[in-house]
Amino acid sequence: SNVELSRLFERLNNQYPGGDVGLFSIYFFNYITLNPGEAILLKANIPHAYLHGQCIECMACSDNVVRAGLTPKFKDTATLIDMLDYQPLTIDQTKFPGEKISENIIQYDPRRISNIDDFIVQEIKGNNGVINAIDKPSLMVIIQGQGTMNEGKVPFDEASVYLIEKQTSINFKANTNILAYRAYSLI
DSSP 93-112: GTEEE-EE-SSSEEEE-GGG
Q: Is 52 exposed, middle or buried (0-12, 13-18, 19+ CB in 10 A)?
A: exposed
Is residue 175 within 8 A of residue 128, CB to CB? The reply is no
- E strands, the chain, in order: 38-40, 95-97, 99-100, 105-108, 119-131, 138-144, 147-149, 154-156, 161-164, 170-185
Among 26, 19, 77, residue whose Cα is nearest residue 50: 26
11 is catalytic: no
Q: In which element (H, E) is residue 5 found?
A: helix 2-15
Question: Of 7, 11, 67, 182, which is the active-site residue?
Answer: 67
Give the CA radius of gyration of the chain: 19
- E strands, 23-118, in order: 38-40, 95-97, 99-100, 105-108
Q: Which residues are catalytic?
A: 67
